[in-house]
Amino acid sequence: MTKKFQIISLLLLACLCLQSCGKSKKIGTGAWDPDGQLVINIGGEPSYLNPILARDVPSSEVIGMVFNGLLKVNSKLELVPDLAHRYTVSADGRVYTFFLRKDVKFHDGHPFSASDVIFTFSKILDPRTNTVRRSDFVIEGKPIQFRALDPYTVQAVLPKPFAPFLVHMTTGILPAHILFNQDINTTRFNRQPLGTGPFIFDKWRSGDYVLLKRNPNYFGTKPKLAKILLRIIPDQNTALLALQKGEIDETNIPAKDVENLKKHPLFRIYHFQTLQYNFLGFNLKKPLFSDSRVREAIAHAINKPAIVKGVLKGYGKVADLPSSPISWAYPPDDQIKKFDFNPAKSRQLLKEAGLLWNGRLKRFEQKGKPVEFTMITNKGNAEREKVAQMIQQFLADVGIKMNIQVMEWSSFVKVLNDPKDPKAFDAIMLAWQLGIDPDALSIWHTQEYPKGFNLIGYSNPEVDTLLQEGREATSNASRKEVYASLFTKIAADSPYVFLYYPESVVGINKRVKGLSEPGPAGMMAEIEKVYVVK
């Protein structure tokens, strides 16, 4: 009996090992594999595979491969035609006319037409739809009107000029013939999507993977990959081990691990700028921070290059203003007011602001008390917590005490969203993810405080005017000028200490080819061109 049991156990173990052996260490050396499957980690369970409902990154990654918008963003962050082969804009910037492709079919073979476009945007505007995209299509309380001029021409009439509108035309188009009589919030379509994109949805095993297969009838460049398996591996360490084993072809790599993995034979490491900036924001309604000299002093006290080197291991850049150096709207370098690391100047500014230096205790004081404030940030971001500790030390060196309060996300958001004036924090540490359009009205306009995302109570009438002008200007040249002026003005006011622009670091298996140039759109922005070799 015991012997039998031992033999059965050994056989089972051997079978299990055979199951896995030989499935890994994919090192490509040959030609394009037409049956090739790309395996990438999306890190989390998607919520809705529906372009008008999704708001999380994993969902967006899948949606980008299954659906098309009227326009799309290419690897250079430019808006280029997709389902619309061209568009025109009226002289007053209010009427956009999109001319649709006639050779597009949904994955079930049904032809795509203007009625699908009208359906998609009417669903977004329908208050019963649980979407957060509605405000993208409402300008000063008035909705954008969409109408079909013929089966392949759609017109959008805006209540007033609104330059960021075109970016929203990248929204994936839904099939009206399937969804016309369904509850968009709960329909099974949200888990079994059907679009016009280069890949067809095949299967979603909840918490495990999403599987897509090639769309042989795709109207654009025919996809080279036969399948894409989007694995859901939430733990970054496990994902890294899976990359090293060759089980997955792509995942993010934390900066701290890059050095150890640089020479791995199986994959290459790429790094590129992202559209994100990290900042330390001051509550401008607090007396201490209402004086710009105190804010400037803090900016001069922080050694940003040391943060980039120490925490980001060099995978990032020092930030100076609320835009990204890779954005077309980034102003010329010589126009930017920079706050270089200069502790002596910092102390000088604090003295000018009326704070008293206590030489015995080596600290600044105000009304006999030490100058002190509390900075809040969210839990779960180890990088940010390390940066906070470095800033605490830099400020202690010039004589300011900064306390750090790390909060659970929902409590943190509650403090920030609380619509009371003044808000209940001294300073915050956070990052903003920028869109490809430079519009930043929701973050900097006076009217966005205290209800809105102007979290710190910033107000500058000149900036308010420029924010509006930026939205209404119709040519890119004039917008570039407006935003250059806007961003430099905000930087000069120093409402935030703009800390750094982090880079994205990814490891990609060497068998994966056809990648785009490293950039914020990712290296698989043109997924139909990506392939794997045998």
The reply to whether 293 sits near another protein by the rule CB under 8 A is: no
SS3 219: coil
**CA atoms 128, 132, 138, 142: torsion sign:** positive
CA distance 162 to 134: 15
The reply to whether 104 sits near another protein by the rule CB under 8 A is: no
The reply to whether 149 sits near another protein by the rule CB under 8 A is: no
Among 237, 335, 403, 476, binds another protein (CB under 8 A): 237
The reply to whether 206 sits near another protein by the rule CB under 8 A is: yes
Among 135, 182, 389, 465, binds another protein (CB under 8 A): 135
The reply to whether 291 sits near another protein by the rule CB under 8 A is: no
Whole-angstrom CA distances from 184 to 105, 126, 150, 172, 205 are 21, 10, 26, 14, 21
Q: Give a three-class secondary structure readout of 381-440.
A: CHHHHHHHHHHHHHHHHHCCEEEEEEECHHHHHHHHHCCCCCCCCCEEEEEEECCCCCCC
Near another protein by CB under 8 A, which window of 85-93, 225-233, 323-331, 341-349?
A: 225-233
CA distance 164 to 85: 20
Near another protein by CB under 8 A, which window of 125-133, 152-160, 306-314, 366-374?
A: 125-133
With respect to another protein, which residue has the nearer C-beta, 115 or 236?
236
Minimum CB–partner distance for residue 105 and another protein (Å): 26
Cβ–Cβ under 8 Å, residues 48 and 54: yes
Applying the rule CB under 8 A, the residues between 414 and 443 that interact with another protein are 414, 416-417, 430, 432, 435, 440, 442-443
The reply to whether 468 sits near another protein by the rule CB under 8 A is: no
Which strands form 145-150's sheet, in the order they lie side by side?
Answer: 84-89, 95-100, 153-157, 145-150
With respect to another protein, which residue has the nearer C-beta, 251 or 346?
251
Among 185, 374, 389, 403, binds another protein (CB under 8 A): 185
Residue with tokens 């922005």: 525
CA distance 187 to 153: 28
Near another protein by CB under 8 A, which window of 109-117, 132-140, 215-223, 274-282?
A: 132-140
Near another protein by CB under 8 A, which window of 71-79, 115-123, 205-213, 388-396?
A: 205-213
Near another protein by CB under 8 A, which window of 124-132, 282-290, 342-350, 468-476?
A: 124-132
- State CA 175 to chain mean position distance: 27
SS3 323: coil
SS3 318: strand
Near another protein by CB under 8 A, which window of 184-192, 349-357, 366-374, 383-391?
A: 184-192
Applying the rule CB under 8 A, the residues between 386 and 415 that interact with another protein are 409-411, 413-414
Near another protein by CB under 8 A, which window of 152-160, 186-194, 302-310, 326-334?
A: 186-194
Rg of the chain, C-alpha, whole Å = 26
With respect to another protein, which residue has the nearer C-beta, 21 or 477?
21
Residue with tokens 């297969």: 213
Minimum CB–partner distance for residue 18 and another protein (Å): 9
With respect to another protein, which residue has the nearer C-beta, 23 or 268?
23
Minimum CB–partner distance for residue 48 and another protein (Å): 6
Applying the rule CB under 8 A, the residues between 31 and 70 that interact with another protein are 37, 45, 47-48, 53, 55
How many residues make contact with another protein (CB under 8 A)?
A: 66
Whole-angstrom CA distances from 216 to 149, 198, 199 are 30, 8, 9
CA distance 376 to 280: 10
CA distance 127 to 66: 26
Among 233, 301, 387, 456, binds another protein (CB under 8 A): 233
With respect to another protein, which residue has the nearer C-beta, 442 or 468?
442
Whole-angstrom CA distances from 256 to 111, 262, 265, 312 are 49, 11, 19, 8
- Sequential DSSP letters for 49-113: S-TTT--SHHHHHHHHHH---SEEE-TTS-EEESSEEEEEE-TTS-EEEEEEPSS-B-TTSPBP-
User: What torsion, rounded to 10 degrees, do the Cα atoms 174, 176, 178, 184 define?
Assistant: 70
Among 451, 465, 468, 476, binds another protein (CB under 8 A): 451
The reply to whether 136 sits near another protein by the rule CB under 8 A is: yes
For residue 414, the tally of other CB atoms under 10 A from its CB is 12
Catalog residues that contact another protein under the rule CB under 8 A: 12, 15-17, 19-21, 23-25, 37, 45, 47-48, 53, 55, 127-128, 130-136, 185-187, 190-191, 203, 205-209, 211, 229, 231-235, 237-238, 241-242, 244-245, 247, 409-411, 413-414, 416-417, 430, 432, 435, 440, 442-443, 451-453
